[in-house]
Structure 1
Amino acid sequence: MKFDEFSVGDIFFTNEVVMTKEEIIGFARKYDPQHLHMDEEAAEKTPYGSLIASGFHTLAVVWAEFIKMDILGADSVGGLGAEKIRWRAPVRPGDQLTGEFSIVNTKELSDKSRGVLSIEIVIRNQRNQEVLTAKTEVFVAT
């Protein structure tokens, strides 16, 4: 979608993603090798009592679902960054995650060839519990 097709208040929901134990461990081994993400026995001794997913894994898999929806598509011309990433609750094997992506601000740039979308992200589990929140800004062609 072109920049001017977006409006503040637009909301997009992703398909559900199921977090498997194997994917949690695999992601952790490669990108976030902490014991609570990849060692079940050690994870049982943490305050969480079991294996939990890396927050970066949680964000990555739901972001991928948003991108697969092709809302930004070829009109996406890069990101400015992410901020206020908050891990609200642990994500465990078997959790079913859904992302909500809300347009909270739009800003056309002076060169008029692109604008900036500010997007708030809320990821919830199967109990409708927020597990992650974040905000990102992306460049979109006009």
Structure 2
Amino acid sequence: MTDDAVADRDGDDRLTYADLAVGERFEADETVTFTRESIIDFASAYDPQPFHLGEAVDDAAPFDGLVASGLHSFCECNRLATAAFFGTVAFLGGRGVDDLRWHRPIAPGDTLAVDVEVADKRLPEADDRRGHVDVDVTGRGPEGAPVVTWRVLGMVRRDPEDGS
């Protein structure tokens, strides 16, 4: 889509259903680095497990040392996904989240980058105001391997003038 086509939308420069293509990727401009302090602060408020708080754990613990809460990684990556995709699209809300997975633990000092890929799009039969757009969100470590992934089942505004 050209910049002129985007600008012709009565001041709303967000992408609509017709502008999005399956396989299209959006990358966040920022990254997020998890610090010891941020991990403990988040865990203290929302997920107070010993391995997220830096407390001593027994030998049966699944992790060696302090690791970030999966919810913390989800929230931070979702913030970046919003900047890269959800905030640039006429996103009307989610229908759900599927396939949330944590592929490896996040330790203090780990930095994640985020990308969003359009996985599927379809028009619901009974609604001409929005289309269903499902996207895959991936938080990647410095080596590029997925650390946290999920699929957002979203709704995106349709532009009645383009027939989409």
Which one-letter code corresponds to 1:138 in the other structure?
G
Query: Within the alignment, does 1:141 sit opposite 2:127 as a pair?
Result: no
Which one-letter code corresponds to 1:66 in the other structure?
A
Equivalent runs, 1:1-142 vs 2, <5 Å: 1-14=15-28, 15-42=30-57, 46-69=61-84, 71-73=86-88, 75-110=90-125, 111-142=127-158
CA contact (8 A) 1:104 1:120 kept: yes
Identity %: 27
Q: Which piece of structure 1 moves more, 96-105 or 108-117?
A: 108-117
CA contact (8 A) 2:26 2:85 kept: no
**What is the aligned residue count?**
142
Larger radius of gyration: 2
CA contact (8 A) 2:103 2:148 kept: yes
User: How far apart are residue 129 of structure 1 and its match?
Assistant: 2.6
Which one-letter code corresponds to 1:26 in the other structure?
D
RMSD: 1.9
Q: Per-residue CA shift, 1:25-73, capped at 9, x if unaligned?
A: 1111111111111124338873321111111110110110121235544
TM-score, normalized by length of structure 2?
Answer: 0.79
3-state secondary structure, aligned to 1:42: coil
Which one-letter code corresponds to 2:19 in the other structure?
E
3-state secondary structure, aligned to 2:57: helix
3-state secondary structure, aligned to 1:8: coil
Structure 1: which 5+ runs fail to align?
none
